[in-house]
């Protein structure tokens, strides 16, 4: 399964709820899941990390569904085999 398929799966399971909650409410859930991922990093629990990554991806897909964004198409359009800033296949941008 690729990103497009996973986004469609999230649509089938959750769109009826996500669409009622709306974009901003769904965005707040995504932020909560990103925060949980951040808390999981220092705990060094592989299973918990995997769960939190899954939640972040699921909520990102939910938000994209509410806003009618094709996540795979958008990502591949921007990151089309090279860094969108410097244009190199292996990024040569200066460190921030």
Binding residues for Zn ion, how many (CB under 5 A)? 5
Binder among 93, 94, 95, 96 for Zn ion (CB under 5 A): 93
| Enclosing H/E stretch for 65 | helix 46-66
Give the Å distances, CA to CA, from 31 to 25, 54, 64.
Answer: 10, 14, 14
Residue 28 sits in the site that holds Zn ion (CB under 5 A): no
Give the x-and-dash track for 31-70 against Zn ion (CB under 5 A): ----------------------------------------
Give the x-and-dash track for 63-92 against Zn ion (CB under 5 A): --------------------x-xx----x-
Pick left, alpha or beta for residue 87 (phi over 0 → left; psi -120 to 50 → alpha; otherwise beta). Answer: left
Q: Return d(Cα 3, Cα 9) in angstroms, integer.
A: 10
Residues that bind Zn ion (CB under 5 A): 83, 85-86, 91, 93
């Amino acid at each position: 399964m690729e990103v497009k398929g996973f986004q469609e799966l999230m649509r089938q399971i959750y769109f009826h709820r996500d669409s009622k909650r709306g974009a901003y409410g769904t965005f707040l859930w995504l932020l909560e899941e990103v925060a949980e991922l951040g808390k999981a990093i220092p705990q060094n629990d592989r299973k918990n990390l995997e769960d939190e990554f899954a939640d972040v991806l699921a909520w990102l897909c939910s938000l994209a569904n509410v806003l009618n964004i094709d996540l795979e198409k958008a990502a591949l359009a921007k990151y089309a085999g090279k860094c969108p800033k410097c244009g190199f296949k292996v990024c040569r941008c200066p460190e921030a």
